[in-house]
Structure 1
């Protein structure tokens, strides 16, 4: 302690001590970095081979910090899935509140679904989950509940908003959401999973969203009055 510090302390002024390096990120920001790193680690290496130390390294944090925020590998997997789906759900919910026509809004909602479901890393992750589900049933259940079911629920909620506005009529919004989502993503997802085609480009996603929205909203049956007209012309 130098002479000035000593005088200040004797006069009752608290002695200042260094507090160390200030925290540069909040815990929430750090978790977001960890989840992003975990998504890459799990999709590339699978659940069993994924290394917590490598996740920490990818995220630029210490292993000690990672374990302080997320105590187990399963918790890391669940948090990673939940974080991604939370962002998806918030976007879909916002899309239900805009003033666009229902066809354009549905196309936008489907494009948002594609960003989640048809993402190359997400498809790779699903392939790994299916391969490892016998050894690690918890990860399959986590993905089913936190990702698949919440995705359908978010789209069903969106359809429910449109129904309450009088734009569409459905008996069961959840069943309709499942059918719509299946029509939109099933084939391109399987094409990638089985190695037959690459992931859809942005233009291909937009075209598929437009076609699926039109088919869902209008169907493909020829109107009865047009059938009569065609019969009369024949």
Structure 2
């Protein structure tokens, strides 16, 4: 017999709130990410997310009005975290030569794009977008576009410093992320091919960075 799932005990009535709404939202988004990635959009309910988060559905609905809003907020929250981490990564590499700095930036973007949970979310978005038409738009707007925008901002800074010569940083950022991540993503989503290992990603990123800089490095 399967063991019954257990969840944290909820505080009783009249007790002071143990955590803030912001902290509770973070727990909800983490639970939602796992449920959506494992079961897809249609099979995931707000009730299952609430159970995984260890809260009541009443609390969940007070903070997130419905499942569509939950999905959108969950994607936005995850990308907020990743965009901040990307900013930190890029800032830390400011003193490096342009090839090392670009390799570091692309490595982060590749690891985000090829994260197993991200790929699982992408897979179910593609499968269920015909039934839930807003899923793909939400995932693209709050996912891929925000990652491209963060990398484009960094490229723009490198142009201002005279380290790169580019006409359109946004287009270049999209091309770069496509180079490092699109083919492995497609192979995983459509072909069932295992995601590349970290060493394979590093090899691909270094090749893409070198290839890109041969055409875009500003002359000394």
Q: How does the TM-score come out when normalised to structure 1?
A: 0.81
**Which residue of 125, 144, 151 maps to 1:148?**
144
- Cα distance in 2 between the residues matched to 1:126 and 1:196: 13
- The answer as to whether partners of 1:88 and 1:113 remain within 8 angstroms in 2 is no
Determine the structure 2 residue equivalent to 1:57: 51
Give the gaps of 5 or more residues in structure 2: 1-12, 216-220
Q: Helix, strand or coil: the match of 1:41?
A: helix
Shift of 1:207: 2.0
- Which residue pairs with 1:48 in the alignment? 42
After TM superposition, what 4+ stretches of structure 1 lie above 3 angstroms from structure 2? none
- How many Å apart are 1:93 and its aligned residue? 2.3
Structure 1 residue 34 corresponds to structure 2 residue 28: yes
What is the CA-CA distance between 1:88 and the residue it aligns to? 1.6
Residue among 183, 193, 196 paired with 1:197: 193
Aligned to 2:181: 185
Equivalent residue, structure 1, for 2:129: 133
Q: How many residues align?
A: 201
Deviations 1:181-208 (A, max 9, x none): 1111011111111244211222222222
The CA RMSD measured in Å over matched residues stands at 1.6
Partner of 2:120: 124
Q: Which moved more, 1:191-200 or 1:131-140?
A: 191-200
Q: TM-score, normalised by structure 2?
A: 0.85
Deviates more, 1:171-180 or 1:188-197: 188-197
Query: Partners in 2 of 1:108 and 1:23 — Cα distance?
Result: 42
Gaps of 5+ in 1: 1-18, 220-234
